[in-house]
Amino acid sequence: MAKKGENNYQYTPRKYICPNCGYATTNENALTVRQMEIYNFIKNYIAKYEEFPTFDTIGKRFDIRLSAAHDHVKRLVKKGIIKHVNKYTL
């Protein structure tokens, strides 16, 4: 039991995955598990359909809102995994 003024919270570091090797790491520039799932989905979608999936397609696949799908893709761009010129590409 925590004493008065202390908290009961315990810090749990986020789990990141290296996009190159797939192993877990604590490097914040690596991908979170969810980002890795979305990256793999995008990679497989492009291999199958030869075009980038829409945010709606990503959202439906992962049962997330359109804005959340957009945020995940923006983070992948920020980490240098996906490039955005006129369209998103790997």
* Residue entry with tokens 């790491």: 25
Tell me the C-alpha distance between 67 and 17, whole Å.
23
Q: State the pTM of this model.
A: 0.70
| pLDDT confidence of residue 6 | 53
pLDDT, one tens digit per residue, over 22-67 is 666 666 667 888 988 999 999 999 899 988 899 999 999 999 999 9
Phi-psi region of 5 (alpha: psi -120 to 50; beta: other; left: phi over 0): left
17 contacts 10 by C-beta, under 8 angstroms: no
Q: Which of 6-20, 38-52, 56-70, 72-86 has the lowest mean pLDDT?
A: 6-20
